[in-house]
Structures are given as C-alpha cells and as structure tokens.
Amino acid sequence: MTIGAARQVYEKLRLGANLKVITSQLEDYNSIGMAADLGAYYQDTSGLFSIGVVLKNMGAQLTTYDDERESIPFDFQIGISRRLKHLPFRVSATYHNLHQWNVLYDDPNAEQSSIFLGELQQQSENRFGTFTDNFFRHLIFSGEFLLGKKENFRMRVAYNHFQRQELTVENFRSLAGFSMGLGIKVSRFRIEYGRAFNHLAGGINHFSISTNLKEFRR
C-alpha cells in the first residue's frame, strides 16, 4: 500500500513524498516493513529542461521471517531530461545507485587474471572494460516522441544497461534491458501502455488510465 503527496513550493520547484507499507508472505512466514520515498523536481521557465532527485526505499523491516533482519533496497537517483527545441522529442538519462559505486555482480565462476609473463597490459584493458561496464550500469537512457497538434500521442523507448547485463542469457539473443510504450490522450483521460523486456522467460506489461481532476472543474 502506498500513500503519496506532492506540492509546488516555488514556481520551478516541486517536492513529493510516498509512504509505503510492504508485506510479504511465504507459507507460514510473514514479514512487514515500512519505507518512504522523497523527491524534488525542477523545471526551467521554458519547460525544455528538467532535473529530478529521488531517495527511494528509506525504511526498515518491522517484523522478520526469523531472527535475522534484512535491509530494504535503498536507491538514490538523479534524472535529467531535455526536450529538443525544434523537434518533438525528449531525451532523458537517469543515474541510479549514487550511494554505491560498484554494482557489478561478483561471479565466482569468472576467470581471474594475474600479472605474469606479460599479462600486465591485458589486465589493464580488463580494468578499463570493468570500469566502463560498471559506470554504464548506473545509467538508464530513454527517449520520447511527442506527436500530434496537441502532443496527445506519445511513443517511448528506454535502455537499462544494468538490467541487460544481469538478465541476458549467454549465447541467446534477447531484448533484455529494453522497454517501450505508447500513450494517447482521449478527451480528459490519458491511456498508457508499456512493455519491459526483462528476460527470455518473459517481460512485464504496464497499463494505466489517468486524468487531471482540475479539468472537470472547467
């Protein structure tokens, strides 16, 4: 269960918060936790540039499965969005896990290289590749086309490098890490559909209908 609220504190700045109650059950085991999200959103006067900062999942486990208390996956994110001035297209980038630099999976089966008989250069190249891979695992890139006279029709696509690296099956092609969606506004309602390709085994579909209650007062 989630309860959220937002408020515009200045002309260009908005603040918001969510309070979440988390429940989990596995056979006879139960666990309850509470977490909160805090966010700030800034948009310039032109509406072309915006930046947001979010602190997600700040909380703790209240009741545990056994005597061991588990942590809630905290995430510190910052996102930047820029709409092109002469093209109906918006590009965005999100950097997640700012509080933790190393997000690589420590694979116990990975081969270990050693500095022996001229392997120093190879290890240096591996370090650069590891650094680059780890850096891009923090980033999510997305783009959105705003189509129509009133931009009522929208097309979106995004790429999550962390998800692709973690969920891609070796020697099999897939769209893991990619997601796409469509949105259309009909009268006072906006209808949205999205598809996230998580793994060869399947993905996630999102469908939502939203409206602005202020439009009914006009």
Task: State which of 103, 125, 156 marks the end of a domain.
Answer: 103
| Residue 36 sits in the same domain as residue 115 | no
Query: Is 76 in the same domain as 89?
Result: yes
CA dihedral (37, 84, 204, 31) in degrees, to 10, reads -10
What does the pLDDT read at residue 86? 87
Is residue 132 domain-shared with residue 179, that is, in the same domain?
A: no
Q: Do residues 153 and 128 both lie within one domain?
A: no
| Same structural domain, 117 and 86 | no
Residue 72 predicted with pLDDT over 60: yes
Q: Are residues 214 and 159 in the same domain?
A: yes
Domain match, 129 and 198 both? no
Bigger pLDDT: 172 vs 193: 193
Are 131 and 70 contained in the same domain?
no
Per the model's pLDDT, the better-predicted residue between 150 and 205 turns out to be 205
Considering the domain architecture, whether residues 112 and 54 belong to the same structural domain is answered as no
pLDDT tens digits for range 4-19: 888 889 989 999 999 9
Q: Do 15 and 39 form a contact (C-beta atoms < 8 A)?
A: yes
Please give the pLDDT value at position 120: 54
What does the pLDDT read at residue 68? 83
Clarify whether residues 132 and 150 are in a common domain: no
The residue among 215 and 149 whose pLDDT is bigger is: 149
Distance (Å, whole) CA 23 – CA 210: 26
How many CB atoms are closer than 10 A to CB 131? 12
pLDDT of residue 55: 96
Lowest mean pLDDT: which of 37-46, 108-117, 190-199? 108-117
Same domain? 83 vs 121: no
- Number of C-beta neighbours around residue 137 at 10 A: 21
Range of the domain at 213: 143-218
pLDDT tens, 33-62? 999 999 999 999 888 999 999 999 999 998
* Domain count of the fold of the chain: 3
Are residues 99 and 2 part of one domain? Answer: yes
More confident site: 215 or 50: 50
**Per-residue model confidence (pLDDT) at position 38:** 97
Q: Which of 26-30, 36-40, 80-84, 205-209 has the lowest mean pLDDT?
A: 26-30
pTM of the model: 0.80
